[in-house]
């Protein structure tokens, strides 16, 4: 069965999804939609000779089409809630880019609606499928009871987006939602128990301070430290810097248990497993999944994400990356943003009505 896709939002990530789908022989992109003329033209060019989709300005024209099985929502963060409300009125499958929404109330609404939706609702937290991170997850049981997780991302600033929407917290949910929900999702995968408390310190120290849009200076953070405590007694930490283009590794991940430690990087080609007893550790080679037909922006993970999404559709099973996963990653990012604003630790239970 060929899966017929419609792409909603054809900026940078929407076109990246098209490139991944173009490397598959059992899918077709039949329609794309974006309100921006340049983005629609980018979609046409990206489709090339592989796809010949209908091109729409209004995404709702795709929702009404009988020849669309699955949707990708890659529109700006703050538009997700309205788009998803319209999708929930259909029975179509959907891969919703991260973050699922920019506010907790909207994320809760999407999570609740997904429970009764006929189609698969998959959240685009594709970092799970990056080769070194997948290897880390596979070997997690070899370090015993996990007590600590440290994630460092030292990278380049936010890229330019259409209309500069990603320069303002009101559109993104804040840097720790927009950029870091991937890492909070990873923490929840590796840590025992549930996150309960978040303490963060951060600022806008370097980036975008000389930019002005419609009289406004961007207000997005460019660095932060975040500590997340779990009800198991374990804790995780994020170290984010977005003015560190010269870093050797963009991301470093360390997970430490009571009998050993896992360390890896993104990008990378190995996972290091060290034990408290037994001498030297072991470097485990990591290679790209042979299924990957397009490495793209995220080291092949978006390709694998689509393959898993397609399999869930064909086998009529729930999404492996659920709206609950997306909700929790947004909740933790919003808590971190609030902690920075108030200077106080934030209890996650207190954030819900």
Residues 203 and 341 in one domain: yes
Residues 136 and 96 in one domain: no
Residues 52 and 166 in one domain: no
The 3-state DSSP class for residue 102 equals coil
Sole residue written with tokens 């089409």 = 65
Residues 264 and 307 in one domain: no
Residues 311 and 249 in one domain: no
For residue 267, the model assigns a pLDDT of 93
- Show the tokens assigned to 36: 């921006």
pLDDT tens for each residue of 256-314: 999 999 999 999 999 999 999 877 789 999 999 999 999 999 999 999 999 999 999 99
Residues 316 and 339 in one domain: no
Does 74 fall in a domain? yes
Residues 200 and 273 in one domain: yes
* CATH number of the domain bearing residue 271: 3.30.360.10
Domain residues for the domain of 117 are 3-124+301-320
- Cα torsion 292, 294, 295, 296 to 10°: value is -150
Residues 185 and 46 in one domain: no
For residue 14, the model assigns a pLDDT of 97
* CATH number of the domain bearing residue 18: 3.40.50.720
Does 296 fall in a domain? no
Does 283 fall in a domain? yes
Does 287 fall in a domain? yes
Residues 221 and 140 in one domain: yes
Q: How many domains does the chain have?
A: 2
258 in Cβ contact with 272 (< 8 Å): no
Find, among 262, 323, 304, the residue nearest to 131 by Cα.
Answer: 304
Does 84 fall in a domain? yes
Query: Cβ contacts of residue 170 below 8 Å, gap of 6+?
Result: 78, 102
For residue 280, the model assigns a pLDDT of 76
Does 286 fall in a domain? yes
Does 273 fall in a domain? yes
Does 206 fall in a domain? yes
DSSP letters spanning 145-157: SEEEEEEEEE-PP
Residues 99 and 210 in one domain: no
For residue 1, the model assigns a pLDDT of 87
Residues 343 and 274 in one domain: yes
Residue stretches of the chain with pLDDT short of 50: none
Residues 231 and 157 in one domain: yes
For residue 164, the model assigns a pLDDT of 94
């Amino acid at each position: 069965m060929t899966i017929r896709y419609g792409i909603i939002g054809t900026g940078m990530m929407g076109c990246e999804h098209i490139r991944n789908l173009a490397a598959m022989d059992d899918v077709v992109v039949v329609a794309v939609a974006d309100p921006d003329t340049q983005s629609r033209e980018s979609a046409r060019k990206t489709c090339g000779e592989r796809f010949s989709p209908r091109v729409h300005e209004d995404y709702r024209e795709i929702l009404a089409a009988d020849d669309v099985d699955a949707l990708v929502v890659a529109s700006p963060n703050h538009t997700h809630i309205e788009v998803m409300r319209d999708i929930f009125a259909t029975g179509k499958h959907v891969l919703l880019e991260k973050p699922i929404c920019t506010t907790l109330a909207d994320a809760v609404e999407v999570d609740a609606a997904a429970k009764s939706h006929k189609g698969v609702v998959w959240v685009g937290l594709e970092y799970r499928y990056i080769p070194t991170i997948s290897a880390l997850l596979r070997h997690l049981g070899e370090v015993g009871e996990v007590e600590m997780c440290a994630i460092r991302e030292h990278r380049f600033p936010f890229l330019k987006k259409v209309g500069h929407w990603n320069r303002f917290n009101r559109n993104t949910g804040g840097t720790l939602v927009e950029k870091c929900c991937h890492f909070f999702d990873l923490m929840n995968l590796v840590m025992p128990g549930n996150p309960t408390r978040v303490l963060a310190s951060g600022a806008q120290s370097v980036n975008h301070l000389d930019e002005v849009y419609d009289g406004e200076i961007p207000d997005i953070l460019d660095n932060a430290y975040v500590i997340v405590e779990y009800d198991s007694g374990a804790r995780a930490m994020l170290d984010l810097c977005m003015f560190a283009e010269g870093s050797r590794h963009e991301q470093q991940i360390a997970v430490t248990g009571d009998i050993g430690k896992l360390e890896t990087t993104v990008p990378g080609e190995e996972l290091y497993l060290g034990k408290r007893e037994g001498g030297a550790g072991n470097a485990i080679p990591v290679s790209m999944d042979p299924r990957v037909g397009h490495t793209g922006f995220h080291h092949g993970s978006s390709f694998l994400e689509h393959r898993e999404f397609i399999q869930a559709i064909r086998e009529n099973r729930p999404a492996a990356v659920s709206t609950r996963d997306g909700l929790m990653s947004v909740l933790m990012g919003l808590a971190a943003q609030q902690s920075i604003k108030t200077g106080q630790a934030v209890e996650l239970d207190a954030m819900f009505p």
